[in-house]
């Protein structure tokens, strides 16, 4: 009975130690978050005040201890709840920031892919001969292209294969068309310009 009485007398001290350990735990746990460091100072000061308030004369009976604990419990629960709310706010801000970063990243990726797609589309268009500009012809319109210096039977056949049969077509070729034809017939780069196919074709075509 004497041991129990002694325990009861020392219970406020135990409770004070418990609350002190609890405050130390909360301080160590929540001080890690730099986002809410300023908010923690208030809470820590409040806890210190409450711990100091517990340094009262020994409680005479168990009922007084229970009353004291009942009074402290809501305050402790409120503190814990406040910390949980702060932590949730911090997590929400982090999720929002991640969402914004993700959106910005995907926006830049989309714009880059769209721009690249447009460039590729333009290149595909440029890779086609402009028959609308220099004219269409077929085998019925075929002329002897070997009369142009630099065109032999083999090159003439290759020109026919891609749809070029007449002097009029060659005389109207643009620089881009000449580049494409050079690639399509696997010809020497710059040879068409040096041999002046366009000029020769103009002098040979029938008006």
Give the helix, strand, coil percentages of the chain, each rounded to 5.
Answer: 80, 0, 20
> For residue 81, which phi and psi values (nearest 5 degrees)?
-65, -40
Residue 114 exposure: Cα atoms within 13 Å on the Cβ side: 6
d(CA 204, CA 170): 10
d(CA 48, CA 104): 45
Q: Which two tokens stand for residue 60?
A: 């005479």
119 pLDDT above the threshold of 60: no
H/E stretch holding 188 reads none
For 6, 72, 81, 108, 201, the CA distances from 78, given in Å and listed in that order, are: 32, 10, 5, 45, 95
Q: Residue 200's closest CA among 167, 158, 155?
A: 167
Q: Residue 22's closest CA among 6, 39, 46?
A: 46
Other C-beta atoms lying within 10 Å of the C-beta of residue 129: 18
100 pLDDT above the threshold of 80: no
Cβ 72 vs Cβ 50: under 8 Å: yes
Q: Which range (101-105, 124-128, 162-166, 203-207) has the least confidence? A: 124-128
122 pLDDT above the threshold of 50: no
For 39, 45, 85, 165, the CA distances from 27, given in Å and listed in that order, are: 11, 10, 16, 89
pTM above 0.75, yes or no: no
> For residue 142, which phi and psi values (nearest 5 degrees)?
-55, 135
d(CA 54, CA 77): 17
114 pLDDT above the threshold of 60: no
Residue ranges of domains in the chain: 2-98, 131-204
d(CA 179, CA 57): 102
pLDDT digits (tens, 9 = 90+) for 6-45: 667 777 776 777 777 777 666 666 665 555 566 666 777 7
Q: What is the mean pLDDT of residues 41-68?
A: 65
């Amino acid at each position: 009975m004497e041991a129990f009485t002694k325990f009861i007398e020392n219970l406020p001290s135990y409770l004070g130690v418990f609350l002190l350990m609890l405050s130390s735990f909360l301080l160590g746990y929540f001080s890690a978050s730099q986002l809410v460091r300023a908010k923690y100072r208030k809470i820590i000061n409040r806890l210190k005040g409450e711990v100091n308030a517990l340094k009262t004369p020994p409680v005479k009976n168990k009922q007084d201890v229970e009353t004291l604990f009942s009074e402290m419990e809501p305050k402790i629960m409120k503190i814990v709840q406040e910390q949980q709310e702060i932590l949730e706010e911090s997590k929400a801000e982090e999720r929002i920031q991640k969402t914004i970063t993700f959106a910005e990243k995907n926006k830049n990726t989309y714009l880059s892919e769209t721009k690249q797609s447009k460039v590729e589309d333009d290149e595909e268009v440029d890779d086609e001969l402009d028959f609308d500009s220099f004219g269409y012809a077929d085998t019925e319109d075929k002329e002897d292209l070997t009369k142009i210096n630099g065109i032999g039977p083999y090159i003439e056949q290759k020109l026919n294969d891609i749809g070029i049969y007449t002097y009029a077509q060659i005389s109207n070729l643009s620089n881009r068309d000449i580049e494409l034809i050079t690639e399509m017939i696997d010809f020497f780069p710059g040879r068409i310009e040096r041999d002046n196919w366009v000029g020769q074709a103009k002098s040979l075509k029938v008006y």
